[in-house]
Amino acid sequence: MLNKYARAFFTRVLTPFAALLIRLGVSPDAVTLTGTAGVCAGALAFYPRGEFFWGTVVITLFVFSDLVDGNMARQLGRSSRWGAFLDSTLDRVADGAIFGGLTLWYAGQGDDNVLCAVTIFCLASGQVVSYTKARGESIGLPVNVNGLVERAERLVISLVACGFSGLHKFGVPHIEILLPIALWVVAAGSAVTLVQRVVTVRREAAEADAGEPAVPQGGDTR
């Protein structure tokens, strides 16, 4: 849902900014790299210390680079396989930094082994959810499914909860409970999404195999 509606909205909003960067001679790859570096710095510098509000502010300032770089590439007419590969790869790095920073908090000062494990699951399942789509497409399948909790949903739920939970240090009572709730929601949603994609790939693979000619005896059936 967020990929369909929110992405289109923010793309329109950020188009003038993308055009400005183009006029300044900034490349889409530079925006991708800068955005990822900023997200990683915000997550790993603030989250392990429990500074969820300021960490989220820094991350939010950089996370929109994921929309700006693609917008710039389209305006320049330079959409390329390399750009798509770099963007997708660095998305995984940014996600790892966000959930890695939260894991370090719960493994350290946060002192909660259960939530540490849940956060690790959010990190791992998010990476695997992305991998299932990429792997399915690499073997010629469309992976035509809208998962319950994809990357946009994982980020919005997690970052909004982190930001509001950080208000606890400004005297807002009991609001820190939002982060654990969000992590459980992301973990459950990611598990459901993973099952959705695996089931879809299995069905699409069976349909594709049924439409192919039989492999001669002695052929490679791997």
Say if CB 88 and CB 69 are below 8 A apart.
Answer: no
Residue among 91, 95, 209, 220 flagged as catalytic: 91
The reply to whether 66 sits in an annotated binding site is yes
Query: What is the four-CA torsion angle of 156, 157, 158, 160, rounded to 10 degrees?
Result: 70
Tokens representing residue 37 in the block: 């570096």
State the chain's maximal CA–CA distance in angstroms. 72
The reply to whether 143 sits in an annotated binding site is no
The reply to whether 30 sits in an annotated binding site is yes
The reply to whether 27 sits in an annotated binding site is no
The reply to whether 70 sits in an annotated binding site is yes
The CA-CA-CA angle for residues 12, 14, 20, to 5°, reads 125
The reply to whether 222 sits in an annotated binding site is no
The CA-CA-CA angle for residues 99, 101, 103, to 5°, reads 70
The reply to whether 80 sits in an annotated binding site is yes
Catalytic residue check, 95 = no
- Specify binding-site residues for Mg(2+): 66, 69, 87, 91
Active site residues: 91
- Specify binding-site residues for a CDP-1,2-diacyl-sn-glycerol: 29-32, 70, 74, 80
- Specify binding-site residues: 29-32, 66, 69-70, 74, 80, 87, 91
